[in-house]
Amino acid sequence: MIRSFKGTSPSIGDNSYIDESAVVIGNVEIGENCSVWPLTVIRGDINKIRIGNNTNIQDGSVLHVTHQGDYSPDGAELHIGSQVTIGHKALLHGCRIGNQCLIGMGSIVADNAIVEDRVIVGSGSLVPPDKVLKSGYLYFGNPIVQKRMLSERELEYLSYVADHYVLLKQHY
């Protein structure tokens, strides 16, 4: 379901797939060839959400933002790059995710956290507010810690899985 909020409607790029059970609300821009899978909520009601091209948001994920106010003068927008895979039941809130990242199933990325390009966040991890995850590494834990550099095969996998979801959505 795609819904406007206070006169602002989501913008969905060409060839993107939004499952009929997903909810996309308000100030949301989704790029081309993206997929938003069942029971996902992308709520851009109090700030903006921007998602790049060839990105997939898997089942049950929740994407939201923080409003501008006394405790957060700038609020916290949500930006997700291109060729990103957001695993099942991930929670992204007012953070920035770079290009070619994988956010593992059940992970939480909190306000003003920055995940640079080409990062893997292991399943079930917690990225606390304002944390910066440097490019090229595997991170996991609660709270998250840097474990090791990504192998060449893992770096290649980031594009592979994003491309797989671009193809998979065509069957829907």
What CATH number does the domain containing 137 carry? 2.160.10.10
Whole-angstrom distance, CA of residue 76 vs CA of residue 15: 28
Q: CA nearest 78: which of 105, 58, 97? A: 97
Beta-sheet pairing, 145-149 with 17-18: unpaired
Total of domains in the chain:
1
Q: What's this model's pTM, rounded to 2 decimal places?
A: 0.97
Could you count the other beta carbons within 10 Å of the beta carbon of residue 27?
A: 21
Q: Which two tokens stand for residue 9?
A: 């409607």
Q: What are phi and psi of 163, to 5 degrees?
A: -65, -40
Residue 73 has a pLDDT of 87
Domain enclosing residue 115, as ranges: 2-169
- When the pLDDT of each residue in the chain is averaged and rounded to a whole number, the result is 97
Beta-sheet pairing, 137-140 with 145-149: antiparallel
Containing H/E element for 57?
Answer: strand 56-57
Residue 30's pLDDT band (boundaries 50, 70, 90)?
Answer: very high
Residue 71 has a pLDDT of 87
